Structure 1
């Protein structure tokens, strides 16, 4: 009798332990190989990606083509800063595209029109290079402002190319289409305008067509340009 009771008690205890053990297992985060937590604060294990070495070099990390925990943290910080989603912590194609654009912008230096793509023989003109996501103001051979990074239209709402002219200016403009503020708005093509934004210039996928600028740059454009001035948009934004 006592033996049967003991066996039953042990059985109940074992079942309780199994239930609690299962509940505890469900409560624990899912851990991927290498000890990284899926969907948590730690970094996700990177798949094989041919951009790893380039990204390591861009971020000033040791270049070995293998994602370390420190690499992952650095990539995630970059993605978070520029609202690249999801911030997975590894070098995917979109992250490398953003970094490549930054490298092209740096290479422009103080001679953004070296190739002569923007026609600067007509007096003051605001140039917009969609390929490098750069803009600058030039007067003949003289560079008046920039080059500065810009954020142009995304796939489906691309900033239209060609020669334009500023036809309307509104320093405290409010967009009734997008229900957002557009400070220092200078319209040059339908509803497309230069204007200030608080978003990162490297935040994908892009704008609704406008040429977004950092506040200081939009203010400088406001002071340097006027109604009737020329704008020239050329190139093609990466990803469009």
Structure 2
């Protein structure tokens, strides 16, 4: 390949050069000046004759240092930012634990110290606070409705009396402008459904301030 070439092979070349930070422009399948400069830089760094053109030696070396580009890479789709992992309390590091941090406003399912899934949560108000401590999942109720407030509590995992982890449509709609009556609300229905299916009665629950 050389200047003037076009097509999928050029896209693959540009994406691989981008993985190594040699090419920074949009991947367009057009072997222009920027692509030639990136190839030249790569060749010079690897002590390959600097031509700005891709011979078999250059291609083999580049392929050996990179992976096959994804469809998103080839189509200039920016990766979604990852949610930062929460800092775990020491009590969450052994066995299967539903780990809940008030300060970080996050819940994680942790197995032997490794986070399996993570989600945003909110808690009770000052008048109806969520209790801190070490508990266990007492019982589960997929389509629960509160006997006191008559509101839906789907995917409820009860861990301390009437307090449970559950999906909250109010949290989904209003965010942190509202609060629960002591429960741990989750606003992502798919995530809390996955949590419900992954957690068993008796699994440890840790609620902490930090």
The interval holding the TM-score normalised by the smaller chain is: 0.5 to 0.7
Instruction: Answer whether contact 2:166 2:192 (CA < 8 A) is retained.
Output: yes
Deviation track 1:50-70 (CA, whole Å, cap 9, x = no partner) reads xxxxxxxxxxxxxxxxxxxxx
Deviation track 1:77-104 (CA, whole Å, cap 9, x = no partner) reads xxxxxxxxxxxxxxxxxxxxxxxxxxxx
Work out which of the residue numbers 97, 115, 133 in structure 2 matches 1:125: 97
Any gaps of 5 or more consecutive residues in structure 2? 1-80
Relative to structure 1, is the Cα distance of residues 163 and 108 closer, same or farther in structure 2, using a 3 angstrom cutoff? farther
Aligned counterparts, 1:1-240, within 5 A: 109-110=84-85, 112-113=86-87, 116-146=88-118, 148-200=119-171, 202-214=175-187, 215-235=189-209
Deviation track 1:155-195 (CA, whole Å, cap 9, x = no partner) reads 11110001010001111111110111111111000100011
Task: Say which SS state the counterpart of residue 150 (structure 1) adopts.
Answer: strand
Instruction: Answer whether contact 1:152 1:210 (CA < 8 A) is retained.
Output: yes
Instruction: Answer whether contact 1:155 1:205 (CA < 8 A) is retained.
Output: no
Relative to structure 1, is the Cα distance of residues 182 and 164 closer, same or farther in structure 2, using a 3 angstrom cutoff? same
* Number of residue-to-residue matches in the alignment: 127
Relative to structure 1, is the Cα distance of residues 157 and 149 closer, same or farther in structure 2, using a 3 angstrom cutoff? same
Relative to structure 1, is the Cα distance of residues 133 and 118 closer, same or farther in structure 2, using a 3 angstrom cutoff? farther
Relative to structure 1, is the Cα distance of residues 195 and 107 closer, same or farther in structure 2, using a 3 angstrom cutoff? same
Instruction: Answer whether contact 2:92 2:206 (CA < 8 A) is retained.
Output: no
Output the aligned Cα RMSD: 2.0
